[in-house]
Amino acid sequence: MTPHTADASDDLPLLRVSNATKYYGDRIGCKDVNFELYPGEVLAIVGESGSGKTTLLNCLSTRLAPTSGVIEYRNRVGAMRNLYEMNEAERRMLMRTDWGFVHQHASDGLRMSVSAGANVGERLMAIGARHYGDIRATAIDWLDRVEIAEDRIDDDPRAFSGGMRQRLQIARNLVTNPRLVFMDEPTGGLDVSVQARLLDLIRGLVSDLGLSVIIVTHDLAVARLLSDRTLVMRRGHVIETGLTDQVLDDPQEAYTQLLVSSILQP
């Protein structure tokens, strides 16, 4: 896979979100969310449990239809498309090609009953790859990229540790050369040492491949390590947004100040 190179389209937003709102009956999931995401940019969405960050992520990734608002994506030919004016087949194709989705629990993003190699290979077959030797060689290459030994290619994920499963899920998502990857608490539930290794891997791949990423996390250390910009949510609303270092080093909102101070306590 060749690294990302800049072109004129990098000056245009890849994703534009206008007044995205989701209600569950009378309860607010998220309300009036606005932002743009640019090629190669990493955006962290942070907040406590129930803040609306996962609801927003699911609306952005077409897993959950918003109640109102517009979410637009710039496709590979440069056209800005309203995701919810696409048909189901078009959205499925986006998920197979242009997008990736890394779940908190790797078992939600993998087929646990087939081999590691097959998990990676299936994504290639979904975009038309048919040559078994080429598919297997690409799978081996991607296992190596995510630090899984070649001799584990025929093992199924149930034989893997939690960290290895998560790395396999990342390989499965990135093998199709996506432009945008959604990540939902990708280090949640892992031991601290495993988290650190996984974060280093993610950071390296994002940089090398020029990926755009939207990552949901409750861990501000993850936001600081990975993201360019941070969006802070509370009770379904965006209460603060800006460059990550600015938001975390000089938070303006009392709630953000509380979040930041809570991780600094001994």
Q: What digits encode the pLDDT tens for the residues 53-98?
A: 999 999 999 999 999 999 999 998 999 999 999 999 999 989 988 9
pLDDT in tens, 148-195: 999 999 999 999 999 999 999 999 999 999 999 999 999 988 888 899
DSSP strand pairing (212-217 vs 99-102): unpaired
How does the average pLDDT of the chain come out, rounded? Answer: 92
Complete DSSP assignment for 114-141: S-HHHHHHHHHHHTT---HHHHHHHHHH
The pTM (predicted TM-score) of the whole model is: 0.92
3-state helix, strand, coil in the chain (%, to 5): 40, 25, 35
Residue in 101, 89, 112, 48 with CA at minimum distance from that of residue 215: 101
User: Percent of the chain having pLDDT more than 70?
Assistant: 95
Which amino acid belongs to residue 64? L
Neighbours of 263 (CB within 10 A): 11
Contacts of residue 247, defined as CB under 8 A and 6 or more positions apart, other chains included, come to: 230, 232, 240, 241, 256
Instruction: Look at residue 266 in the predicted model and tell me its pLDDT.
Output: 38
pLDDT in tens, 122-142: 888 888 778 888 899 999 999
Radius of gyration of the chain (CA): 18
CB 191 within 8 A of CB 20: no
Neighbours of 212 (CB within 10 A): 22
- Domain residues of the chain, as ranges? 110-177
Instruction: Look at residue 153 in the predicted model and tell me its pLDDT.
Output: 96
pLDDT in tens, 190-241: 888 899 999 999 999 999 999 999 999 999 999 999 999 999 999 999 999 9
Strand partners, 243: 229
Secondary structure of residue 173 in the 3-state scheme: helix
Q: What are phi and psi of 256, to 5 degrees?
A: -65, -40
How far is the C-alpha of 138 from the C-alpha of 254, rounded, in Å? 49
How far is the C-alpha of 14 from the C-alpha of 11, rounded, in Å? 9
CB 20 within 8 A of CB 59: yes
Which amino acid belongs to residue 100? G
How many residues are recorded in the chain? 266
